[in-house]
Amino acid sequence: MMAAAVSRFRGSLLGALLGDCIGAVFEGHTNVTKEFLFDYMKSLDKGERLKSVLTYTDDTAMARSIVQSILENDEFDVDDLADRFTTEYYRDPDRGYGMAVVHVFEKLASGEYKYVFSPAKEQFDGKGSYGNGAAMRVVGIPLAYPRIPDVIEYAKTSGMLTHASSLGYNGAILQALAVHYALQEELTPETFLDQLLDHMKEVETDKRSRSDALELEMDEFPYCNKLKKIKAFLAREDVTRKDIIKELGNGIAALESVPTAIYSFLRCLKPVPELPSELTNLQQTIAFCIMLGGDTDTIATMAAAIAGAYHGEEQIPLNWKLSAESYKDAEDWGEKLHQLYCKR
Ligand code: 8NA
Ligand code: MG
Ligand code: MG
Ligand code: MG
C-alpha cells in the first residue's frame, strides 16, 4: 500500500535521524558483525535504549539548520543558512564534524569575509572539499521544493557553503534528487535510476565538474558512472559486501557514499536474505548500510532519508523512534515541510 503523503515527509526526516543515530554507534568500524548489530537492533525494539536516548551527530545538526532556515524564512536564504550552520557549530561543536569543515565555520564567524561562499573555496588549497557533508544534510530541500530546478539549485547552493568541489555539491544534488523521486507515488528501480542518470548527465556536463574530475584523476561523469554500476549490481544476485565497498565505496567522500546509500535503498526494496525478516524495508536499509562499515552514520542517514520518503513513517517502530534525540522535531517539521511542498 502507498504511504500517505505526509507520512513520507515525516518518514524521511525520522529515517534520516535514525540512520544517523544508529549508524553513529558503528561509525568507522571496519568489521561490523551481524550478531552485534542485530542484538543492538533488538535492544532498540525492546525499548532498552529509552533511558539514555541515542544522540545525533553533525549530519542531523546540519540537516536541522537547513530545515529550520527554510521553515522560518518560508524561502531558501543562503546567508541565513550560513549563519545557522556557524551558530549551531559554536553552540555544540562536539557532534563529530569533519576535520576540515570546522575551518569554514571559523572563517564565517570571523566576520572577515564579504561573501558566504569564500571560506569554502579556500578549503584544500583552493580545490574545495569533496566530503559527503553537503549531501548528508540536504534532505530538507527536496521535502520543501517540488520542482526539480529548485531542488538542484538549492542543493547546490547549500552545499557550496562548505563544499566548493563539484564532487561535494554534486553529491548533494544527487542525494536531493533521490529523495525527490522517492516521494513520488510510482517507482521502479529502473525508472528511478534512469531519471537520476538523466539529471546527473546534465549536472556533470558543466565545465567545473569536468575539470574537477580531471584534476582528481578520475573519468568524467563520475556520478553517472556510479549510477551505472548500481544498475549492474541490481541485476545480479551475487553482489557481496566486498564488491559494494570496492566499487561504490563506504568512505567520507561524497562520491564514495551517496551512490552507496542509493544502492542500499534500492537493494532493500526486496528482502535481503542475510537480514532478519521481521525488519521493515526501512530498518533493513539502515542495517544494510551499517554492515558495510566505514562512514556508517552518514551512509545510513542518506539511505534512510530516501527509504523514509518512499515507505513512510509506518515502517519505523515506535521504540526506534522514541530512542532518538529530538524525534518530535522530525515529526513536526515533516508535517510543516509537507504543507510548504503542497503550497508551492
Ligand atoms: P570535510 O569537508 O572536513 O571533509 C571530510 C574529509 O574528507 C576531510 O577531513 C578530508 O579528509 C577529506 N577531503 C575532503 N575534500 C578533500 C580534498 N579536496 N582533498 C583531500 N581530502 C579531502 O567535512 P564533511 O562535512 O564533508 O564531512 C562529513 C563527514 O564527517 C561525515 O561522515 C560526518 O559524519 C563526519 N565524520 C566522519 C567520520 C568518519 O570517520 N567517517 C568521523 C567523524 C565525523
Ligand atoms: Mg556524523
Ligand atoms: Mg537574509
Ligand atoms: Mg559520518
Measure 58 CA to ligand 4 centroid, in angstroms. Answer: 8
- Residue 1: what pLDDT? 45
Residue 251 beta carbon below 6 angstroms from any ligand 1 atom: no
Handedness of CA 226, 228, 232, 234 (dihedral sign): positive
pLDDT one-digit tens code per residue, 278-288? 999 999 999 99
pLDDT one-digit tens code per residue, 52-81? 899 999 999 999 999 999 999 999 999 999
Residue 100 beta carbon below 6 angstroms from any ligand 1 atom: yes
Residue 338 has pLDDT above 60, yes or no: yes
Measure 301 CA to ligand 3 centroid, in angstroms. Answer: 29
Percent of the chain with pLDDT over 70: 99
Residue 186 has pLDDT above 80, yes or no: no
Measure 282 CA to ligand 2 centroid, in angstroms. Answer: 19
pLDDT one-digit tens code per residue, 205-225? 999 999 999 999 999 999 999
Going by pLDDT thresholds of 50, 70 and 90, the confidence category of residue 32 is: confident
From the alpha carbon of 127, which atom of ligand 1 is closest? Answer: 18
Residue 98 beta carbon below 6 angstroms from any ligand 1 atom: yes
Residue 130 beta carbon below 6 angstroms from any ligand 1 atom: yes
Going by pLDDT thresholds of 50, 70 and 90, the confidence category of residue 4 is: low
3-12, 235-244, 270-279: segment of lowest average pLDDT: 3-12
Q: Which ligand is nearest to the CA of 61?
A: 2
Residue 127 beta carbon below 6 angstroms from any ligand 1 atom: yes
Mean predicted confidence (pLDDT) in 28-44? 90
On the 0-12 / 13-18 / 19+ scale of CB atoms within 10 A, 32 is: buried
Mean predicted confidence (pLDDT) in 301-319? 98
- Residue 51: what pLDDT? 80
Convert 73-93 to b/e letters by CB count within 10 Å (16 or more is b).
Answer: eeebeeebbbbbbbebbeeee
Measure 344 CA to ligand 2 centroid, in angstroms. Answer: 31
- Residue 30: what pLDDT? 83
Going by pLDDT thresholds of 50, 70 and 90, the confidence category of residue 48 is: confident
From the alpha carbon of 24, which atom of ligand 1 is closest? Answer: 34
DSSP 8-state secondary structure symbol assigned to residue 55: P
Residue 3 has pLDDT above 90, yes or no: no
What is the average pLDDT value for the chain, to the nearest integer? 96
Mean predicted confidence (pLDDT) in 79-95? 98
From the alpha carbon of 294, which atom of ligand 1 is closest? Answer: 41
Helix/strand/coil percentages in the chain, nearest 5? 65, 0, 35
| Cβ count within 10 A of residue 33 | 10
Give the residue whose CA is nearest to atom 2 of ligand 1.
101
From the alpha carbon of 128, which atom of ligand 1 is closest? Answer: 18
Residue 97 has pLDDT above 90, yes or no: yes
Going by pLDDT thresholds of 50, 70 and 90, the confidence category of residue 50 is: confident
- With CA atoms as reference, report the closest residue to 178 among 192, 168, 166: 192
Measure 157 CA to ligand 3 centroid, in angstroms. Answer: 14
Measure 342 CA to ligand 3 centroid, in angstroms. Answer: 24
pLDDT one-digit tens code per residue, 125-146? 999 999 999 999 999 999 999 9
- With CA atoms as reference, report the closest residue to 229 among 184, 180, 196, 182: 196
Going by pLDDT thresholds of 50, 70 and 90, the confidence category of residue 274 is: very high
Residue 2 has pLDDT above 60, yes or no: no
Measure 173 CA to ligand 4 centroid, in angstroms. Answer: 18
Q: Which ligand is nearest to the CA of 20?
A: 2
Residue 271 beta carbon below 6 angstroms from any ligand 1 atom: no
Give the residue whose CA is nearest to atom 38 of ligand 1.
295
Where residue 312 falls (left for φ over 0; alpha for ψ -120 to 50; beta otherwise) is left
31-35, 85-89, 331-335: segment of lowest average pLDDT: 31-35
